[in-house]
Amino acid sequence: TRKIIIDTDPGQDDAVAILLALASPELQVLGITCVAGNVPLPLTVRNAQLVCELAGRREVKIYAGCDRPMSRLLVTAENVHGKTGLDGITLPDPTMPLQSQHAVDFLIETLRSEPAGSVTLVPIGPLTNIATALERAPDIAERIAEIVMMAGAYFEVGNVTPSAEFNIFVDPQAADIVFRSGIALTVMPLDVTHKALTNRARIEAFRALPGKVGPVVASWADFFERYDMEKYGSEGAPLHDPCAIAYLLNPDLFNGRHINVEIETGSELTMGMTVADWWHVTDRPPNAYFIGEVDADRYFALLTERIALL
């Protein structure tokens, strides 16, 4: 099994990513670290608890992390995720415990105590917690096996401004630290997540699952879809964040390129842009494996098959 820490701002798609990880015996979730992003920190923490409880996994360790980006004001996305961040169905308030340690301290302590190269980080929200840990404890960088994240874009460019993807836009300084860290990075940008769209058949497959989790996932997906369908007239909505977990389970579902990626932190106009050298037009060395393709049918089949286990 592979040890992972999920760093997240749930969010319906984050919730599905967490469920996929908890349902998968190949992965050992050492902890879930929460960050401000889609909604403010108290809600992302609550939502992480709610998801673990839904999965019947009250023993999972959940940590609250940074409540704001490193140097900018927090930007949230209630327009996409609803007021709670998990709109679509009302579930009971969670009662499972929250760890008292700060998420950043947990990250540092875990990376120092686990064998070097044995822990993979999976950030699916703004990179504030990860970058803060790297700034405070630079020694952990070489102990991280790999970072597999949902972030950025190249041809698809932006979903929150014309040039930036939400997770990077919220905390570009943090993203800059991570992309310069020298750690092995695998990135799921909008270009690939926009090839993993929900549709009626895929959502109904969740709803038809026995047990209570599948129908909840279907309700979240219904709500989440509405934004993209109304705004862009697209067929469904990209289920972004589970791509990062699916990659750990079956990298063969994906295809990408090793490229150089730099983060725009200066210009307000293009703040948070992932300047991705997809065509190798510079000789800057690659620092990220940027994914571009996914087998969407097999991706949704994997999601459905695993969520059925919960």
CB of 9 to Ca ion, least distance (A): 5
Q: Which does 77 bind (CB under 5 to 8 A by kind): ligand BDR, Ca ion, none?
A: ligand BDR
CB of 241 to Ca ion, least distance (A): 5
Catalytic residue flag (residue 240): yes
Any residues with CB less than 8 A from the CB of 305 and at least 6 apart, and which? none
Q: Which does 166 bind (CB under 5 to 8 A by kind): ligand BDR, Ca ion, none?
A: ligand BDR
Any residues with CB less than 8 A from the CB of 87 and at least 6 apart, and which? 12, 81, 223
Binding site for ligand BDR (CB under 6 A): 11, 13-14, 38, 77, 80, 124-125, 150, 159, 165-167, 240-241
Q: Which does 62 bind (CB under 5 to 8 A by kind): ligand BDR, Ca ion, none?
A: none
Q: Which is nearer to Ca ion, 9 or 222 (CB)?
A: 9
Q: Which does 152 bind (CB under 5 to 8 A by kind): ligand BDR, Ca ion, none?
A: none
How far apart, in whole angstroms, are the C-alpha atoms of residue 289 and residue 292?
10
CB of 62 to ligand BDR, least distance (A): 17
Q: Which is nearer to ligand BDR, 127 or 177 (CB)?
A: 127
CB of 26 to ligand BDR, least distance (A): 22
Binding site for Ca ion (CB under 5 A): 9, 11, 14, 124-125, 241
β-bridge mates for residue 102, sequence order: none
* Structural tokens at position 150: 């949902």
CB atoms within 10 A of CB 147: 23
Q: Which of 81, 240, 258, 280 is catalytic?
A: 240
Q: Which is nearer to ligand BDR, 10 or 256 (CB)?
A: 10
Contact 257, 278 (CB under 8 A): yes
Q: Which does 80 bind (CB under 5 to 8 A by kind): Ca ion, ligand BDR, none?
A: ligand BDR
How far apart, in whole angstroms, are the C-alpha atoms of residue 168 and residue 127?
7
Q: Which is nearer to Ca ion, 23 or 124 (CB)?
A: 124
Q: Which is nearer to ligand BDR, 13 or 222 (CB)?
A: 13
CB of 153 to ligand BDR, least distance (A): 8
- Determine whether 103 is exposed, middle or buried from the number of CB atoms within 10 Å of its CB (0-12, 13-18, 19+): buried
Active site residues: 240
